[in-house]
């Protein structure tokens, strides 16, 4: 439901709301928050709530540290796991400078700008995500282990699948927060799960995904488990991907549709071609950890820059679907990314393809994991390490036209430092465990 400020204030008064959580994402996609009391909410809508932005990595320096959170009333949601007496609600926030201008590093602002560019070009973008994650046991002190909750496989049922009750709790909680899961199931890896979500506008999809990750971790913890979105938490089994499904509407009609000849519209083909053309340059924002690159080339995670229909070995595939529901599915991204930056870059890459009328290359209608050297000859590949992904983004005119310079510099500086520390570490598994496992 889309609430107005007056409706929110009335809801808070009538429903025993005592605490307000103001949430936002840093440039790396980590959810941050501060709490205010309910009787200060009206002032927060009018004047914002200040926080120390120099303490948020990638935001500001200590000489100019103040930024303000402005709650978006349309994102009101009760936190169902908190007490029903003295309720707690959350808002996602826009971030502004003291003079009221938008903070250019705010992911919601960046994605709004991309959505506006899409609308200006005559299109409406719809995004749906498929989020994979692992459930691990915790030790006697509550710390996460690398022991999977179960040893089940793809689409297994109870008693092999021990995650069904946790997924049920997650889905019911999300429904109460007005987020609509479409399906959930056990994935291929031991303790690995997936929840898929209905399509929505790009900003709502990113808002929902940041909320979903928080809910999954919270419900898992309430069940004595640890939920991990690390792309490759276990060495010899499936990694966790974030499959991003994108469709475009023009004059209310999905342009990702087949005509009688089975051909896609030229605009849809150019959109796909645009993403393929820019994918190397934006990979660091889709796969931001050293650990992300262990996933490529194995267990349905692509490393070649190709596309096809239905074929799950491809970077982009066009899944089988009813007319009107056809879309492109990007399969390289992983759930450690910042969804606001990821979605914004993908939209702009696709629009760049349409603007330049890029011609889509022929589909690769073969299994890339078993393909011969002759079949793979001449096919470009994704960056194989975080370092190469950083280099591709740093040299990209497209990335610098799509994101604020400060955000790019801050993001790439941190990622370069992570790569340097990874390279210097004697025990690289320990580095990734210490740097990522308990955080992602």
**pLDDT value at 394 more than 70:** yes
Residue 263, pLDDT score:
65
Based on the fold, state whether residues 165 and 33 are members of the same structural domain. Answer: no
Q: What angle do CA 93, 94, 100 make, to 5 degrees?
A: 135
Mean pLDDT of 411-436: 97
63-72, 199-208, 345-354: range with lowest mean pLDDT:
63-72
> For 123-155, what is each residue's pLDDT tens digit?
999 999 999 999 999 999 999 999 999 999 999
Is 271 a domain residue?
yes
Select from 59, 76, 103 the last residue of a domain.
Answer: 103
Based on the fold, state whether residues 253 and 156 are members of the same structural domain. Answer: yes
- Residues whose CB is less than 8 angstroms from the CB of residue 158 and which lie 6 or more positions away in sequence, other chains included: 164
Based on the fold, state whether residues 95 and 231 are members of the same structural domain. Answer: no
Owning domain of residue 292: 113-437
Select from 80, 103, 126 the last residue of a domain.
Answer: 103
Based on the fold, state whether residues 392 and 256 are members of the same structural domain. Answer: yes
Q: What is the CATH number of the domain that holds 333?
A: 3.30.590.10
**Averaged confidence pLDDT in the chain:** 94
396, 338, 27, 415 alpha-carbon torsion, rounded to 10°: -60
**pLDDT value at 366 more than 90:** no
Q: What is the pTM of this model?
A: 0.96
Mean pLDDT of 110-121: 98
Is 30 a domain residue?
yes
> For 146-181, what is each residue's pLDDT tens digit?
999 999 999 999 999 999 999 999 999 999 999 999
Mean pLDDT of 339-358: 98
* Residue 389 to residue 331: CA distance in whole angstroms: 17
- What separation, in Å, do the N-terminal and C-terminal C-alpha atoms of the chain show? 30
Select from 59, 81, 103 the last residue of a domain.
Answer: 103
Based on the fold, state whether residues 201 and 270 are members of the same structural domain. Answer: yes
How many beta carbons lie within 10 A of that of residue 258, not counting itself?
15
15-24, 53-62, 274-283, 340-349: range with lowest mean pLDDT:
53-62
> For 243-278, what is each residue's pLDDT tens digit?
999 999 999 989 887 544 456 789 999 999 999 999
Total domains present in the chain = 2
Is 108 a domain residue?
no
Based on the fold, state whether residues 89 and 175 are members of the same structural domain. Answer: no
Based on the fold, state whether residues 193 and 93 are members of the same structural domain. Answer: no
Mean pLDDT of 316-335: 89
Q: What is the CATH number of the domain that holds 35?
A: 3.10.20.70
48-62, 98-112, 218-232, 260-274: range with lowest mean pLDDT:
260-274
């Amino acid at each position: 439901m889309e609430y107005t400020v007056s409706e929110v204030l009335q809801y808070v008064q009538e429903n025993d709301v005592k605490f307000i959580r103001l949430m936002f994402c840093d440039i790396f996609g980590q959810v941050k928050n501060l709490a205010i009391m309910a009787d200060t909410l009206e002032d927060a809508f009018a004047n914002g709530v200040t926080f120390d932005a120099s303490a948020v990595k990638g935001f500001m320096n200590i000489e100019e540290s103040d930024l303000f959170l402005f709650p978006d009333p349309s994102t009101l949601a009760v936190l169902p796991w908190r007490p029903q007496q003295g309720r707690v609600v959350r808002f996602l926030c826009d971030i502004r400078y003291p003079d009221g201008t938008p903070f250019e590093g705010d992911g919601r602002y960046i994605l709004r700008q991309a959505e506006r560019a899409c609308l200006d070009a005559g299109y409406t973008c719809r995004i749906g995500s498929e989020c994979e994650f692992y459930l691990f046991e915790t030790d006697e002190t509550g710390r996460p282990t690398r022991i999977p909750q179960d040893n089940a496989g793809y689409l297994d049922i109870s008693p092999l699948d021990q995650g069904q009750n946790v997924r049920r709790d997650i889905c019911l909680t999300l429904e109460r927060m007005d987020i609509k899961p479409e399906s959930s199931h056990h994935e291929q890896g031991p303790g690995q799960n997936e929840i898929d979500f209905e399509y929505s506008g790009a900003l709502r999809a990113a808002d929902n995904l940041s909320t979903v990750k928080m809910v999954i971790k919270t419900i898992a913890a309430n069940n004595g488990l640890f939920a991990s979105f690390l792309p490759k938490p276990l060495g010899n089994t499936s990694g966790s991907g974030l499959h991003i499904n994108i469709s475009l509407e023009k004059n209310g009609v999905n342009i990702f549709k087949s005509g009688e000849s089975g051909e896609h519209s030229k605009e849809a083909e150019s959109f796909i071609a645009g993403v393929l053309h820019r994918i190397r340059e934006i990979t660091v924002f889709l796969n931001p950890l050293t650990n992300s690159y262990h996933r490529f080339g194995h267990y349905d995670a692509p490393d070649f820059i190709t596309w096809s229909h239905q074929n799950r070995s491809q970077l982009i595939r066009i899944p089988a679907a009813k007319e009107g529901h056809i879309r492109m599915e990007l399969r390289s991204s992983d759930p450690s990314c910042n969804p606001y930056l990821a979605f914004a870059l993908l939209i702009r890459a696709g629009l760049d393809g349409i603007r330049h009328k890029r011609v889509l290359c022929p589909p690769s209608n073969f299994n890339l994991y078993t393909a011969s050297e002759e079949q793979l000859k001449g096919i470009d590949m994704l960056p194989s390490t975080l370092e190469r992904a950083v280099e591709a983004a740093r040299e990209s005119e497209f990335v610098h036209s799509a994101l604020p310079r400060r955000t790019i510099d801050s993001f790439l500086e941190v990622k370069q430092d992570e790569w340097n520390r990874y390279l210097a570490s004697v025990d690289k598994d320990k580095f990734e465990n210490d740097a990522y496992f308990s955080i992602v």
